Structure 1
Amino acid sequence: MAAGARHGALGSAIRGQWRRVSASAVLSALHQATEALVPVLIGLALDEAVTTGSLARFGSLIVALGAVFLGIALSFRYGARFGERASYLAAHELRMDLARRVLDHRGGAESGRLPGELVNIATNDAKRVGAANLVLPIGLAACCGLLVAAGALLRISPQLGSIVLLGTPLLLIVAHLLGKPLERRSDSEQERAAQASGTAADLVSGLRVLKGIGAVSAAVERYRDTSRNSLQATVRAAHAKAWHDGGMLVLTGVLIAVIALIGGRLAARGEISVGELVAAVGLAQFLLGPLQTFSFVNGELALARASAKRIDAVVGSRAAVQAEEAALPELLRGHLRVRDLTGGPLRGIGFEVGPGTLTGVVTGDPRVANALVDCLSREADPASGSIELDGRDITTLDIPQFRAAVLVAAHDADLFEGSLLDNVTAGEQRSGIEASLTASAADEVVRTLPEGADTALAERGRSLSGGQRQRVALARALAAEAPVLVLHDPTTAVDAVTETRIADGIRSVRSGRTTLLVATSPVLLAVTDSVVFLDDGAVATHDELLADERYRSVVLP
């Protein structure tokens, strides 16, 4: 499993970039330390100018101050560079972990999640977690700046240094407590935003269908509710962040005011010099930066923790199917045996498909057909029972090899951007493409396009009609020349004349190879060698089963 599942997304992001994070922390700490020295050097320069009047010593302090500013500029530049790079690379690695899990042959990552939600996790959440590599060195550098400033104040006055050393831990505790509501509400905000994004993508992809059935208003209302919930979650998160940032600003302001007031009293009593007072006030003003940094870092880490939980939920999601890695034999006969499949709508389903035969599978319950197709494609495992390929349980076989041997073509298969030919060949050089186009009646589609098979299709093939997309998808399935092919309702969107041509084409192209037609179309079933009627377990030819009234009610509604 991916590294994010073993260590958690946040820990994995930091461990994977520890060299760059360490370099950024060192350089950022140098930046803060040198910045803290600025008021100290200014105070020393004032004291030298007032007490000794030595231009040489005053000039040397000015040169030292210039060197400090140079160190500030360089350390900031390169510290930020290392931190930014660690942030972007960590986010990239998290996206790769998510992609590997989503594309895992065992599936399961997409369960209960819309595609838009997964995209939101892979973009916004990954970016937030990666940003921890940027803010963590900043937080460590702020600690370093505080220590240097506290040391300088202790040297000027133990009383002032003690205030910093005692007040800072209390401030960090309060920051942690204020960050808890922000973390919870940020988690809710991202969850609702992902739902809104997923719903929007879902509606856009089905917009043509929604218009066709007159359901646009209902769909808009559904998205409005989801978007409103997302807005409310965002507002709550913004309120939590405002309380967090405002509270931290008040507390840091009080701490700095106390330091300035006490320093002024000490100078008035002559316990510290004018230069030391200037240095103390300058250090108090400098402390505003590190203390505000704590507020910023704490808030960002709270957001990163919330996003990391969402990434961990995807990367660590349970696989939909279990599998071993046994290899398929080089020569496949294509003999399928389904034994007592049970689970969900499946109730003891069993049948056998001889090698090289064209077999129809019919059921009046679409849920049963979908569940059977999911089991045959290894998208899901049944609660009990088994499927054997040439006598071997398919759960023991390597999933990619199995899916190459047993190709399942769903009735709603998507097309991709690219030419029609690229969609059919899936980017591979294959022979017999013309035969596949002819058998699926996709050659008619080719003739209607301005550039023939080289015509570029829109996203998901939306430039084609539903029937045209279905024919191109069928051509792709036939062109693969898999030893076993499972076709699920491949002609639901085509006219009767075209369907007859496709039925004959499937039988011709798939001659000698095992083919399952999970369908209720009498035109397709008429060309099969036999039909399995799952509703009563009968196995016979289509013509023979037409004598069964229940069978007729399914295939001849």
Structure 2
Amino acid sequence: MGASDPSGRDVLRGAIRGQRRGVAVGSLLGAGHQAGEASVPVLIGVVIDQAVGKGDLSALLLWLAVLAVVYVGLSFSFRFGARAGERAAEQAGHKLRVALVRRVLDAGGGAENGRLPGALATIATEDAKRVGVVNMAVMSGVAALTGLLVGAVVLLRISVPLGLIVLLGTPVLLWLGHLLSKPLEHRSEAEQERASHASGVAADLVAGLRVLKGIGAEAAAVDRYRRTSRDSLVATLRAARAEALQSGMVLALTGGFIAVVALVGGRLAIAGDITLGELVSAVGLALFLLGPLEVFSWVNADLAQGRASAARIAGVLAAPRDVAPGGAPPPAPVRGAVRLRGVSHGGLREIDLDVRPGEVLGVAATDPADAAALLRCLGRQADPDAGAVELDGVPLRELDPADVRMAILVADHDADLFEGTLRDNITAALDTPGRTAPDAPERTALGDLERIDPAGTGRTAVPGREEDAMRAAGVEEIARALARGADTAVTERGRSLSGGQRQRVALARALAADRPVLVVHDPTTAVDAVTEARIAAGIREIRRGRTTILVTTSPSLLAMADRVVLLDQGRIVDTASHADLVQRHTAYRTAVLA
């Protein structure tokens, strides 16, 4: 963890510091409420001594009016103080959720390493909420401390021994409460870890439900989740026992403390050192002190859970990035020349490759792992172990990953769809807020889409890019078969569509983005041969003048490429047309035609 990476304590402090105004207002009003609550038994004692004991009706009415005003004030303070505290807690939780989502979506990646998606969701929801609640705990703690101090001052005025008992006993109780919260903190962290893991496993099982049913593995999946859920239950019960023990011990200590205060006050009244009204006030204050001390027990528990959750949040925020941001400006405009020089990564060994601007290049890899490694380097999801990947002569390592992906779009084979309409999924990358590609499309006053031509072909505008992409990827056929056409709703991850339909929609989305360089990985594995041939021709047409790299073993796609690179055993073996490679290499025929 670097010097600038946040720790759990930094996250906790930042959550409070960011809401300092709300916490201050809530604490002030909460202190007013507790001061009012502490003054109630004092006023009752005054009523007994000044009005009831003397039989003075006017004094009785006067002090009852004062008591009514105090009740109105403490009620107002509680209502608006609690509102300020809740608002601070919710806003702090919201800001943490936004920070976590921003880190997970950071172009440098790395936040998801070693964590299931369900675990990240739990951290961004439950843990963020627990850290936000710490603001409410701080406000309540300040209010409770004010109540204790007011009670102690009044007790000192009534009797020095009583006041000293409160002043000396309260810090001891707080210290004991802090010690008792330590086991809860550790067990709460374990509880959240187990709960997030169970959520992640459940999300994985739901995502792969069709596959599980297809291979008849439902029983094994249920057993796996049962074991994970049982571990989560055990951790939750341990945390609950720790919390119950902490609360019970603090309550017992608090009860004993109040009993000592009441006993000393009673002996002083019998001895005549204090009046009957002062005794009533002292006993009332002793009972009142039970509330603030119980609040401290709750505050300690919330702080313990907040510290555990803050540590988990800090782990995500401080996760090292897979690739570091570069400081060089991206090429403008992007011509689309891609060059690999001595690239070694994963199974790749000293890859040298030049892709000309506007070229359609096929890459046939005999090992899928080599194809995946190449895709990671081209999309800068990882930097090569050796060598460099360049865009128009600028090493990708020197560019910000977000700038790289605005110029080079890598469309993965297993790209997910989003919940929404078919059209929404295709147009998702048309307008990217906050960042513009060096060669980004622009809208005319008539609403048509224009694009700059990086290869100098003379074409300046392509209206209806969305429709062109749908036609090229064969999505128009899908839309015609649906009840509402392109406006038909698509469920989460596109589960309402078949595998081939999802592939075509994902490809249309990549084509509609119209990046200067498009890298497509096996986009037609789930479609029939006739449709595949139409898609190959559509890609060729819509990407005319734009650099396109097809990482695939589809003969239809490779046949329409300008040239094909054969990647075998991590090295480039040959570069030629599809037909020539079929004639020359058995490995190519096995990978492509088998």
Structure 1 residues 225-268: Cα deviation after superposition (integer angstroms, max 9, x where no partner): 21111111111100110110000010000001111112112212
For 1:553, the aligned partner's letter is T
Please name the residue that 1:472 is paired with: 505
Q: Are residues 1:228 and 2:230 paired?
A: yes
Structure 1 residues 105-131: Cα deviation after superposition (integer angstroms, max 9, x where no partner): 222212222222222111111111111
Please name the residue that 1:400 is paired with: 402
C-alpha contact 1:357 1:513 (8 A) present in aligned 2: yes
C-alpha contact 2:156 2:163 (8 A) present in aligned 1: yes
CA–CA distance in structure 1, aligned partners of residues 333 and 16 of structure 2: 48
How much does 1:4 deviate?
9.0
For 1:483, the aligned partner's letter is P
How much does 1:387 deviate?
0.4
Match of 2:316 among 314, 317, 321: 314
Map of 1:65-214 to 2, 5 A cutoff? 65-214=67-216
For 2:114, the aligned partner's letter is G
C-alpha contact 2:331 2:394 (8 A) present in aligned 1: no
CA–CA distance in structure 2, aligned partners of residues 67 and 341 of structure 1: 79
CA–CA distance in structure 2, aligned partners of residues 343 and 438 of structure 1: 36
Please name the residue that 2:350 is paired with: 348
Please name the residue that 2:456 is paired with: none
Structure 1 residues 326-378: Cα deviation after superposition (integer angstroms, max 9, x where no partner): 33333332111112222333333332212222111122222221121112112
Question: After the TM superposition, which of the residue ranges 183-192 and 330-339 deviates more from structure 2?
Answer: 330-339
Question: After the TM superposition, which of the residue ranges 540-549 and 370-379 deviates more from structure 2?
Answer: 540-549
How much does 1:80 deviate?
0.8
C-alpha contact 1:349 1:534 (8 A) present in aligned 2: no
How much does 1:325 deviate?
4.1
Map of 1:353-364 to 2, 5 A cutoff? 353-364=355-366
Match of 1:520 among 546, 553, 558: 553
For 1:485, the aligned partner's letter is L
Structure 1 residues 23-50: Cα deviation after superposition (integer angstroms, max 9, x where no partner): 1111111111111111111112112235
Please name the residue that 2:29 is paired with: 27
Cα 1:465–1:254, aligned 2, differ >3 Å: closer, same or farther? same
Please name the residue that 1:416 is paired with: 418
C-alpha contact 2:100 2:316 (8 A) present in aligned 1: yes
Question: After the TM superposition, which of the residue ranges 259-268 and 297-306 deviates more from structure 2?
Answer: 259-268
Map of 1:473-492 to 2, 5 A cutoff? 473-492=506-525
For 2:497, the aligned partner's letter is L
C-alpha contact 2:427 2:509 (8 A) present in aligned 1: yes
CA–CA distance in structure 2, aligned partners of residues 176 and 274 of structure 1: 37
Please name the residue that 2:572 is paired with: 537
Cα 1:386–1:4, aligned 2, differ >3 Å: closer, same or farther? closer
* Secondary structure, counterpart of 2:106 in structure 1: coil
Cα 1:434–1:44, aligned 2, differ >3 Å: closer, same or farther? closer
Q: Are residues 1:441 and 2:477 paired?
A: no
CA–CA distance in structure 2, aligned partners of residues 254 and 512 of structure 1: 84
C-alpha contact 1:28 1:80 (8 A) present in aligned 2: yes
C-alpha contact 1:196 1:223 (8 A) present in aligned 2: yes
Structure 1 residues 420-454: Cα deviation after superposition (integer angstroms, max 9, x where no partner): 22222226575233332232222221221112222
CA–CA distance in structure 2, aligned partners of residues 283 and 332 of structure 1: 76
Map of 1:186-335 to 2, 5 A cutoff? 186-335=188-337
How much does 1:73 deviate?
0.7
Q: Where in structure 2 are there 5+ consecutive unaligned residues? A: 432-447, 450-463
Cα 1:153–1:519, aligned 2, differ >3 Å: closer, same or farther? same
* Secondary structure, counterpart of 2:223 in structure 1: helix
Please name the residue that 2:590 is paired with: 553
CA–CA distance in structure 2, aligned partners of residues 142 and 384 of structure 1: 61
Structure 1 residues 178-198: Cα deviation after superposition (integer angstroms, max 9, x where no partner): 111111111111111111112
Structure 1 residues 521-549: Cα deviation after superposition (integer angstroms, max 9, x where no partner): 22322222222222242222222222222
CA–CA distance in structure 1, aligned partners of residues 326 and 107 of structure 2: 12
Cα 1:148–1:433, aligned 2, differ >3 Å: closer, same or farther? closer
For 1:461, the aligned partner's letter is G
CA–CA distance in structure 2, aligned partners of residues 350 and 223 of structure 1: 47
C-alpha contact 1:530 1:542 (8 A) present in aligned 2: yes
For 2:578, the aligned partner's letter is H
CA–CA distance in structure 2, aligned partners of residues 9 and 104 of structure 1: 19
Please name the residue that 1:366 is paired with: 368
Cα 1:50–1:512, aligned 2, differ >3 Å: closer, same or farther? closer
How much does 1:404 deviate?
2.1
* Secondary structure, counterpart of 1:412 in structure 2: coil
Question: After the TM superposition, which of the residue ranges 196-205 and 430-439 deviates more from structure 2?
Answer: 430-439
C-alpha contact 1:109 1:314 (8 A) present in aligned 2: yes
TM-score (norm 2): 0.90
Aligned residues: 556
CA–CA distance in structure 1, aligned partners of residues 52 and 481 of structure 2: 93
* Secondary structure, counterpart of 1:537 in structure 2: strand
C-alpha contact 2:323 2:401 (8 A) present in aligned 1: no
CA–CA distance in structure 1, aligned partners of residues 383 and 397 of structure 2: 9
C-alpha contact 1:341 1:349 (8 A) present in aligned 2: yes
Cα 1:4–1:261, aligned 2, differ >3 Å: closer, same or farther? farther
Structure 1 residues 200-220: Cα deviation after superposition (integer angstroms, max 9, x where no partner): 112112211222222222222
C-alpha contact 1:4 1:94 (8 A) present in aligned 2: no
Structure 1 residues 371-407: Cα deviation after superposition (integer angstroms, max 9, x where no partner): 2111211222222221001111012224333212211
CA–CA distance in structure 1, aligned partners of residues 372 and 492 of structure 2: 26
CA–CA distance in structure 2, aligned partners of residues 87 and 459 of structure 1: 31
For 1:549, the aligned partner's letter is T
CA–CA distance in structure 2, aligned partners of residues 132 and 191 of structure 1: 19
Q: Where in structure 1 are there 5+ consecutive unaligned residues? A: none
Structure 1 residues 290-339: Cα deviation after superposition (integer angstroms, max 9, x where no partner): 11111001101111111111111112221121122433333332111112
Please name the residue that 1:493 is paired with: 526
TM-score (norm 1): 0.96
CA–CA distance in structure 2, aligned partners of residues 4 and 254 of structure 1: 45
Question: After the TM superposition, which of the residue ranges 529-538 and 30-39 deviates more from structure 2?
Answer: 529-538
CA–CA distance in structure 2, aligned partners of residues 53 and 480 of structure 1: 88
Structure 1 residues 134-155: Cα deviation after superposition (integer angstroms, max 9, x where no partner): 1111111111111111111112
Q: Give the superposed CA RMSD.
A: 1.9
* Secondary structure, counterpart of 1:42 in structure 2: helix
C-alpha contact 1:342 1:385 (8 A) present in aligned 2: yes
For 2:18, the aligned partner's letter is G
